[in-house]
Amino acid sequence: MKVTQKVKKILANYESDNPGTKANLARILMTGKLAGTGKLVILPVDQGFEHGPARSFAPNPDAYDPHYHYQLAIDAGCNAYAAPLGPLEAGADSFAGAIPTILKMNSSNSLATNKDQAVTASIGDALRLGCSAIGFTIYPGAEDQFEMMEEIRELAEEAKSVGLAVVMWSYPRGGKLDKAGETALDVTAYAAHLAALLGAHIIKVKPPSAVLWQPEAKAAYEKAGLDISTLDKRIAHVMQSSFAGRRIVVFSGGEAKDEATLLTEIRALRDGGASGSIVGRNAFQRKREDAIALLGKIIDIYRS
Ligand code: FBP
């Protein structure tokens, strides 16, 4: 594997990491159709946990099979495939070494009454399955947010010590946050910044709206005269909040939507300097050939 200058430059931002972690970041950045460009598209499939099987897979019943997702990520030319323990185990032998994997180590479920996550796998599992990274969700704003932060502190320390990379899903929710607050620009930038502060190599947040939710933050944005009128400008601000672009930040695809809307959003992500996208439902809820075509278009946008 020849590591490009672009990727070397990104790896240089991770000044404290050991060669194992850098090699795993390089594997992710040097795989798939975006290999070497510094951009990445990841397929995440943990929605079975988060939303349940029918909401996740009934639109495309082939997707009930965990092998389906490994193959989709490979054939579409994704950089990596992220999933909880069970589905990674279910294809571990058939797909060993075929695509970098990210072990999603905690999950919630929609039957829960509180906004919290259970740790559902170990660093040993990640190593046994040959994963490149662990994935972990924090819910900034939730009653249990500090517990989640303490859990990832411990897991990240262990992951980094054995050469794994750390991907953090930072999803504000719970507590005082309402729906508008969850994706507000100030809250999203705060969530990305918190993940960077917690030592994430790769940060994952939702594309932010133009809402400024916290009055104190709103005043600071207004005083600074920050232009937040378009999505690309808001993405640039989230990148700035992630150590001035020194951290890889990918944005989620969200609920299944029409292709034109999604691609317009992806172009704004690219124009704002996003590192890439992590697209689940918009991929696997479509028929396989449509999903591959759509992921191909997303990849082309990042390549251009
Ligand atoms: P999607 O592209 O399907 O939105 O997947 C990204 C993701 O972060 C998943 O990893 C996760 O299961 C899901 O979003 C959570 O979505 P929500 O916050 O809407 O419950």
User: What is the per-residue pLDDT for 115?
Assistant: 94
Residue 103 near residue 131, CB atoms below 8 Å: yes
Domain extent at residue 250: 5-303
DSSP reduced 3-state for 279:
coil
In angstroms, what is the span from residue 109 Cα to ligand 1's centroid?
Answer: 12
Torsion 62-290-251-88 (CA) sign: positive
Q: Which atom of ligand 1 is found nearest the CA of 110?
A: 20
- Residues pairing with 277 in the sheet: 41, 251
Q: Give the C-alpha separation, 75 to 73, whole Å.
A: 6
**Ligand 1 pocket check for 104: Cβ under 6 Å:** no
Q: Give the C-alpha separation, 107 to 73, whole Å.
A: 21
Active site residue 39: no
Per-residue tokens: 99? 């695509």
Per-residue tokens: 98? 């075929």
Residue 295's contacts (CB-CB under 8 Å, 6 or more residues apart) are 41, 43, 76, 77, 78, 279, 283
Alpha helices (runs of H) in 4-129, residue ranges in sequence order: 5-11, 19-29, 47-51, 53-57, 66-76, 85-91, 123-128
Q: Give the C-alpha separation, 94 to 147, whole Å.
A: 36
| Burial class (CB within 10 angstroms; exposed 0-12, middle 13-18, buried 19+) of 254 | middle
**Ligand 1 pocket check for 27: Cβ under 6 Å:** no
The residue ranges of the chain whose pLDDT is under 50 are none
Active site residue 81: no
When divided into structural domains, the chain yields a total of 1
> What is the end-to-end Cα distance of the chain in Å, rounded?
23
Could you report the per-residue pLDDT of 221-236, keeping only the tens digit for each? 999 999 999 999 999 9
**Ligand 1 pocket check for 252: Cβ under 6 Å:** yes
Which residue's C-alpha comes closest to atom 4 of ligand 1? 254
| Burial class (CB within 10 angstroms; exposed 0-12, middle 13-18, buried 19+) of 159 | buried
User: What is the per-residue pLDDT for 169?
Assistant: 98
Question: CATH code at 148?
Answer: 3.20.20.70
User: What is the per-residue pLDDT for 1?
Assistant: 85
User: What is the per-residue pLDDT for 264?
Assistant: 97
Task: Tell which one of 136, 188, 252 to mutate to probe ligand 1, the residue whose CB is within 8 A of the most ligand atoms.
Answer: 252
Q: Give the C-alpha separation, 24 to 78, whole Å.
A: 15
Q: Give the C-alpha separation, 205 to 140, whole Å.
A: 11
In angstroms, what is the span from residue 18 Cα to ligand 1's centroid?
Answer: 30
